[in-house]
């Protein structure tokens, strides 16, 4: 049973990128963390990247967020290990195929992005919501990883953009539905954090005007600190929407 004074987080997509950075940040500041991702070895790498005592406050839980049974097993394992859950960072996602014109996009590719980014987010949020209502004291926080693409698309990005717009609707619904149960929900929209998924920014990426341009990136640790700030707030306060992005990226004025 986890000491209730130690907050407990579930972080999906914790094996790399933003999820890894957030898990390391939380572990480094006293949180206990259940790390979810597809590959156990990558989750263990995340734990080793954190503080020396992180192993005592971590649970590596290989999870397929598109599978309801796998998601239920994740939250059951976190509850058994730590006793309660205070935070879900709903982060697992995929860009899908890049550079494919809309009329040539295979349905399987569309479905994979929707299953991961939207259906996976729903399943994890629902499991967290249920746990927040049942535990004592009740309540908790969900932080959804939206995207700059929740506001403005890149060319040839219909699956990713559609799911990230849907994430905003999910965030708003959870914020409303969670009010009676001390459940807060917020969304962080991230632009050009330097991870393996954004390496193409360094060599040039298609712009709305048809040109290809190198885009600036920011340290992913800056994203993690923002998430931790949102997570550390009391449940009586909420950052409803936050946008953190590389200062000079072409977002304001995109298109």
Tokens for 127? 């499991």
| Residue range 11-17: mean pLDDT, rounded | 97
For residue 242, list its beta bridge partners: 188
Q: Catalytic pick from 160, 184, 188, 231?
A: 160
Q: Where are the domains of the chain?
A: 8-245
CA-CA distance, 44 to 167, in Å (whole number)? 28
Let me know: does 18 contact 223? Beta carbons within 8 Å: yes
- Regarding predicted confidence, which is higher, 251 or 158? 158
> Does the predicted model carry a pTM greater than 0.75?
yes
Over residues 149-196, the pLDDT tens digits come to: 999 888 899 999 999 999 999 999 999 999 999 999 999 999 888 887
Query: 52-56, 143-147, 209-213, 245-249 — which one is most confidently predicted on average?
Result: 143-147
Over residues 94-138, the pLDDT tens digits come to: 998 878 999 999 999 999 999 999 999 999 999 999 999 999 999
Question: Can 107 be counted among the known catalytic residues?
Answer: no
Q: Which CATH number fits domain 8-245: 3.40.50.720, 3.40.50.1820, 3.40.630.10, 1.10.10.10?
A: 3.40.50.720
What radius of gyration do the chain's Cα atoms show?
18
CA-CA distance, 202 to 204, in Å (whole number)? 6
């Amino acid at each position: 049973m986890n000491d209730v004074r130690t907050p407990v987080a579930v972080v999906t997509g914790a094996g790399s990128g933003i999820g890894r950075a957030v898990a390391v940040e939380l572990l480094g500041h006293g949180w206990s963390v259940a790390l979810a991702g597809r590959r156990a070895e990558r989750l263990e790498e995340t734990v080793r990247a954190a503080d020396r005592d992180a192993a005592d406050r971590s649970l590596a839980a290989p999870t397929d967020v598109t599978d309801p049974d796998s998601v239920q097993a994740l939250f059951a394992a976190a509850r058994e290990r730590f006793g309660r859950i205070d935070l879900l960072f709903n982060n697992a996602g995929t860009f899908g195929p890049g550079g494919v014109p809309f009329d040539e996009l295979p349905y399987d590719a569309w479905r994979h992005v929707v299953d991961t980014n939207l259906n996976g987010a729903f399943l994890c949020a629902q499991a967290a919501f249920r746990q927040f209502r049942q535990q004592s004291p009740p309540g908790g926080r969900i932080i959804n990883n939206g995207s700059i693409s929740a506001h403005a698309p890149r060319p040839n990005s219909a699956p990713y953009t559609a799911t990230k717009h849907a994430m905003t609707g999910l965030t708003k619904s959870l914020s409303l539905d969670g009010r009676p149960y001390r459940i807060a929900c917020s969304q962080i929209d991230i632009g050009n954090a330097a991870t393996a998924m954004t390496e193409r920014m360094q060599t040039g990426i298609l712009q709305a005007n048809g040109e290809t341009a190198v885009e600036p990136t920011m340290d992913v640790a800056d994203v993690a600190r923002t998430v931790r700030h949102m997570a550390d707030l009391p449940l009586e306060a909420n950052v409803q929407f936050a946008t953190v992005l590389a200062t000079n990226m072409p977002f304001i004025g995109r298109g």
